[in-house]
Amino acid sequence: MTSTLHGPVDDTAVSNVPAAQTPAPAPNSANPARRPVGTPVVQASGETRKVRKLRGQLAEKHAIGGLQDDQAWVEADTPQVIRERTRAAEAAKLHKLQQNPQRRALTAARWRKSVTVAVGVGLVCALGWSTANVQATVSAGAEAWSAHWLLSYLVEPFISLLLLTMFGFQAYMATNGVLVKDRAIKFAEAVFLGETLTLNIWPHVPFLASHPGLLAAMVSAIGPVSAVLAIQTVPVMWRHINDLDHGVADIDFVESMGTVRHMIAMGTLPETPSRSQIQKAFSSTGAGIDVRVAQRIHRCLTGRVDLL
C-alpha cells in the first residue's frame, strides 16, 4: 500500500496494530429493551405477576364460598316478601277493625247518610222534571208570560216542597231509630204524590183531557188541600221530634228499667220488647210510662246503647 503524501506505508505494521476492543454490554434484567418480548420478570422466589394474579383470584373465590355458605342468603326476606307481609298485616288489622262495634256503627252511619243523600238528590231531580210537565198542564190555553202562565210554575214547587218536608222529617226520625208510621203523615204524603201524578199525566189521558172543567176544579183545589194537610201534619212532626230521647239520664229511666226487667223475668214481656209492648205493659198496671223512657229502655235491651 502506498501513499502519495507521506510515502510508502508498511502493510505489515498496520495489520499488527491491535484493533480497539468494544466491551460487550452486561446483561441487565431491568432493561426491557434488552429482554425478549413476553419473558416474565422472575424474582428470586419465583413470584411472577401471573402467580400473584392467580393467587388473588383464588383468595376471591374462597371469600365468595364462605359468604355463600351463610344461611342469611336464604333466610333474609326479599323486597317482595316484605311488601306481602306488610299487606297481609294491614289486611288482618282491617278485618279485625271491621268487627269492632264502633267501626260497624260508623259504617252504618255512613251508609245511612249516603242512601239519604242519594234519594234526596233523585227526588229533587224528579220533582224538577215534574215541574215542567205540571206547568204545561196548568197553563194550558194561557198566554205566554201572562200572570196565569207565570204563576203556573209555582204549582209543582210548593207540592214538591211539602213532599220534601215529609221525606226529610221521616229521614231524620229514621236516623234517630224511630220509624214514623203516623197515619196523618202517610195520608198527606199520598195526597201530594197523587196531585203530582195526576197533573203530570192529565194531558195524555183521553178521558181526563176531554174534561177541561174537571182540570180547572182540581187546579183550584190544590192550594187549599195542600194547606190543610200541611197544617195537620206540622203538629204531628213536632210531637215526634219532641218525643225523641237525647240520652238524658234520670231516675224514672232507672226505675222503669228495673220494672221492665222484672216483667221479663216473670214472662209478662219478651226478652227484647218493643216500645209499644213496654208502653202497653205499663198501661196494664195503671202506672203508665213516658214514650221517651220506653224508647230508651227498648234501645238498651236491644243493645243499641250508642243511641241512649
Model pLDDT for residues 188-215, shown as the tens digit of each residue: 999 988 888 888 888 777 777 677 777 7
Encode pLDDT of 65-87 as tens digits.
777 777 777 777 888 988 999 99
pLDDT tier, 304 (very low <50, low <70, confident <90, very high otherwise): low
For 297, phi then psi, to 5°, come to: -65, -40
Residue 90: predicted pLDDT: 93
| Percent of the chain whose predicted confidence (pLDDT) is above 70 | 80
- Per the confidence metrics, is the pTM higher than 0.85? no
CA-angle at 232, arms to 118 and 280, nearest 5° = 85
pLDDT tier, 55 (very low <50, low <70, confident <90, very high otherwise): confident
CA 217/CA 102 separation, integer angstroms: 56
124 or 186: which leads in pLDDT: 186
- Rounded mean pLDDT, 16-23: 46
